[in-house]
Amino acid sequence: MKNLQPVPAKKFKKSAVISLEKGKLPPQALDLEEAVLGAMMIDKKGVDDVIDILHPEVFYKETHQHIYEAIYTLFQNSEPTDLLTVANQLRKTGNLELVGGDFYLVGLTQKVSSSAHIEFHARIILQKYIQRKLISISAEIIEEAYDETVDVFDLLDDAETKLFEVTQGNLKKGSEDAQGLVSQAIKKIQEISNKQGMSGVATGFNRLDELTSGWQPSDLVILAARPGMGKTAFVMSMAKNMAIDFDTPVAIFSLEMSSVQLITRMISSETGISSGKLRKGNLEPHEWEQLNVKVKNLSKAPIFIDDTPSLSIFDLRAKARRLASQHGIKVIVIDYLQLMTAGSSSGGNREQEISTISRNLKALAKELAIPVIALSQLSRAVETRGGSKRPLLSDLRESGAIEQDADIVSFIFRPEYYGLTEWDDEERTPCEGQAEFIVAKHRNGGLENIRLKFTGHLAQFSNLDEDFGNEFHSKMNSAISAGNMTSPQDAFGAPDNLDDGDVPF
């Protein structure tokens, strides 16, 4: 009978959690921590150079955390920071013996002779901290990913939130000197002169572009109105102008309407076929031909629509970054702000949540250096107010932070919505088929009420040709004088019958 040999044990690969938690020394730079703390205690300039870069948690050694905390407290109180004052501050908090007493502090000051290169050293310490933080977050995500009771979308949201907090809390931009900034400004002015004064993204609305020179990079633009005024119709008309007329890539985040509904509005505006007919599919043969021909420009336009409902600000940032890197988007449109959420980590009431959202939208605009246009609702105070019911800044709903964070706050006002037939100006001009784009706050420019044409059955905003009446009379008089017409129809042709019975929306 053969002797049975023991079966060797199988070798299993270590799990990701084990490799992250055991057997590896966390990233650290203790020698640099000692050098930075020593330099801060012997040279005031060292404190000034790194106090806005570091915070106590970035130090790996707990002893160093307590010492830096003492230095930071002295700096906040505008007190001198040297060996004696730091020791005294540690004594007040009861941490002097914990860090090793005066002997340890003296040892730190003896390790360096000046604060030269202290900022470079501090940034290495910060890098090590970020590495440790990423390892910790990754380990937590791995552990939660194995938990079947955790919702996967909550897990994604939580992961993005934690990573976003690391970025926001530690990656800070330094200041720039005047020489570099002046050269950048002159270069930008030269570029603007080549674009005939259009320094931003053109909207296709002439008077608006003249006022703003286009939507400017890093600007947060708020467009507010009561429901039914045409907020979505305006931004879709604007997006169509940008993408088709100026070949500008546009990203639209729609939290209210589906992507197919939005593109159908654009098709209606581009083809001139009423949205009612498109919804019903009740098109004449020539309209089908018109649809197939005119929709080609729209199908090639660089427009990207995301209709994720209840989008969080963290999801928006992640999606926007991807669109910016992959497709080079130049404008972001959000429809609309009050439907967004601040994420699972948000606390407090709705007003605080809206404040968080608006603040992060401004940060996103600065980060990507593109304009962010966010639609917003107005309060019911507009409806109860007498007079023309023209909206005011105080009507912005749920948070004053929206007005504070925005570079431009604008409103859409259509008198027809309230049954008015005339504008409230001195001439009492008719307001049928017209709207007013009100620039109520403009951080870098003037304020103005700009009148636009509104075509309800196409859900379309366009330029209001104020000189059309003068041009009409001039052309008609010239034709009559030349004896080439007997009626106005001979000069302009019979008007098309555009009334298909559809109700504007």
Q: Which two tokens stand for residue 318?
A: 């992640």
Are the CB atoms for 265 and 236 separated by under 8 Å?
yes
Per-residue pLDDT, 399: 61
Domain spans of the chain, in order of start: 30-169, 198-463
- CATH code for the part of the protein at 30-169: 1.10.860.10
Question: What pLDDT is recorded for position 197?
Answer: 60
Cα–Cα distances in Å, from 353 out to 106, 253, 371, 401, 406? Answer: 48, 19, 22, 10, 16
> Encoding tokens for residue 124?
């290495």
Rounded to whole angstroms, the Cα distance separating 282 from 276 reads 9
Q: At what angle do helices 101-110 and 83-93 cross, to 10 degrees?
A: 150
Catalytic annotation present for 256 = yes
Catalytic residue among 256, 367, 403, 448: 256
Residues 6 or more apart in contact with residue 172 via CB below 8 angstroms: 52, 53
| Tokens 């919505």 found at | 417
Topology (CATH level 3) of domain 198-463: Rossmann fold (3.40.50)
**Does residue 374 sit in helix, strand or coil?**
strand
Q: Residues in the chain, how many? A: 505
* pLDDT for 64: 94
Distance (Å, whole) CA 496 – CA 492: 11
Give the pLDDT of residue 23. 62
Q: Is the Cα dihedral 462, 465, 469, 474 positive or negative?
A: negative
Residue 166: exposure state from Cβ atoms within 10 A (0-12, 13-18, ≥19): middle
Of residues 53, 90, 56, the one with CA closest to residue 70: 90
Residue 128: the pLDDT is 92
Terminal alpha carbon distance of the chain: 92
CA distance 240 to 204: 9
CA distance 405 to 362: 7
Contact 48, 89 (CB under 8 A): no
Residue with tokens 């286009």: 214
Distance between CA atoms of residues 417 and 454, nearest Å: 12
- Sheet containing strand 460-463, edge to edge, reads 303-306, 250-254, 331-335, 372-377, 220-225, 408-413, 434-442, 448-455, 460-463
H or E stretch including 256?
A: none
Token reading at 412 = 């859409």
At residue 244's C-alpha, the angle toward residues 241 and 249, to 5°, is 90
- Residue 157 neighbours by CB under 8 Å, 6+ apart: 312, 314, 315, 343, 344
Q: Which amino acid is at 462?
A: S
As given in the structure block, the two tokens for residue 433 are 């088929």
Residue 335 gets the label, from left (phi > 0), alpha (psi -120 to 50) or beta, of beta
Q: What is the pLDDT along the chain (505 residues), one digit of tens a residue?
A: 444 444 444 343 333 333 445 567 889 999 999 999 999 999 888 888 888 888 899 999 999 999 999 999 988 888 888 899 999 999 999 999 998 888 999 999 988 888 888 889 999 999 999 999 999 889 888 988 898 888 887 788 778 778 777 776 666 555 566 767 777 777 766 666 665 667 788 888 988 888 888 898 889 999 988 888 888 889 988 998 888 888 889 999 988 888 888 888 888 888 888 777 787 777 788 878 888 887 888 888 898 988 888 888 877 887 888 888 888 899 999 987 888 887 655 556 777 888 888 888 888 898 888 999 999 888 787 777 777 778 888 777 666 778 788 899 999 888 888 888 788 777 788 888 888 898 988 988 888 888 898 888 888 888 887 444 334 334 444 444 444 444 434 433 433 333 343 433 3
Q: In the beta sheet, which residues pair with residue 436?
A: 413, 451
d(CA 401, CA 382) in angstroms, rounded, equals 19
Residue 283: other Cβ atoms inside 10 A:
16
Model's pTM, two decimal places? 0.63
CB contact at 8 A, 59 and 99: no
Q: How many CB atoms lie within 10 A of CB 382?
A: 19
CB 305 within 8 A of CB 257: no
Here the tokens at position 476 are: 């008609």
The secondary structure of the chain in percent helix, strand, coil, rounded to multiples of 5, reads 50, 10, 35
Q: Which run of H or of E encompasses 189?
A: helix 178-194
Query: Rounded to whole angstroms, how far apart are CA atoms 409 and 396?
Result: 10
Query: What DSSP element (H or E) covers 49?
Result: helix 44-50
